[in-house]
Amino acid sequence: MTYTPPPGAASFVKAEIKIDGGATLECYFNPTEYSLSKSNEWKYKPVTGTSFTEPEFGGGQPRQMELSLLFDQSFPPYKMTVRAATAALLDAMEVPSGKSGGTPTAVPPFITFQWGALIFKGAMTSLTCAYKLFRPDGEPIRADVKMTLKQAEAASTASSTGANRGTNPTTRANAGHGVHTVKDGDSLPSIAYDAYGDATTWRAIADANGIENPLHLRRGRALSLPRLED
C-alpha cells in the first residue's frame, strides 16, 4: 500500500496529551482556529410592579476546549502505534480497574493537552476516534481524534492560553517591528516565537491588535508586530 501524507502535512506540529497516572501520547495538531468556551448563570427574580430587576450571579460553568487531533504512524513513526495510542485514550474514558464504585477515586483520569505554550488540563467528556488508513493486515496507521475537555483546575492555573488576560510587567510594546499574516496552524505563541524568539511575548501582539480572545485567530488577518523594549 502506498502511503499518502495528510493534506498540508508540512504544517502539522507535534502536541502532547498527558494522561494522569498514565502515558504521554504524541499527536499532531494543525487548527485553522480553536476556542475555549465558558458559560455563567445569572438569575433574574421577577418583582411585581417592576419591569427590570438586577441580576444575581448563580455560579459559573467550567471552561470547555474542543480539539481535533491527528495520529499518523507514518508521519513520522510514533513511539506508540496508532492503535495503542487511541486505546490509551479510550481507556482514559473508563474508571481504572481495581477502583471500588462509589469511592472518590473511582473516576477516569484527568487529561493535560500541551501544544507549545498552550496548556489545558481537563476532564475528558467526549472522545471520537475515526480510523482512516490501514495496513494490509488491518492495522490502523492514521486516526482523526476529536476530544472535548472540561476545565479541571481553577482559572488561574487551568490554562496558559491567555484566556485570563494579564499584562507582562517586564515588557512594553511599541509599533514598528513588522506585520504577520495569519495562516493555518498559527497561534499567538507561535507567531511570537517566530518574530521574537520567545513565545511568552504573545501578549504584546494581542494588546497591539486588540485581540480579546487569543485562541481565535482569523486566517488571512494582518497582525501588527510591535517592537519590544525591556
The C-alpha cell that represents 140 in the structure block: 490502523
Q: Burial of 145 by CB count in 10 Å (0-12 exposed, 13-18 middle, 19+ buried)? A: buried
**Is 199 part of a structural domain of the chain?**
yes
CB 12 within 8 A of CB 6: yes
The C-alpha cell that represents 222 in the structure block: 494582518
d(CA 215, CA 165): 12
Does residue 92 share a domain with residue 29? yes
pLDDT tens per residue, range 45-99:
888 988 888 888 888 888 999 998 888 887 665 678 999 999 999 999 999 887 7
Does residue 135 share a domain with residue 26? yes
pLDDT tens per residue, range 134-159:
999 999 999 999 999 999 887 654 44
d(CA 180, CA 15): 23
Q: For residue 206, what are the domain limits?
A: 172-229
**Is 47 part of a structural domain of the chain?**
no
**Is 222 part of a structural domain of the chain?**
yes
Number of domains in the chain: 2
Does residue 124 share a domain with residue 34? yes
d(CA 39, CA 41): 7
What does each C-alpha distance from 227 to 2, 201, 208, 211 come to in angstroms?
48, 11, 10, 17
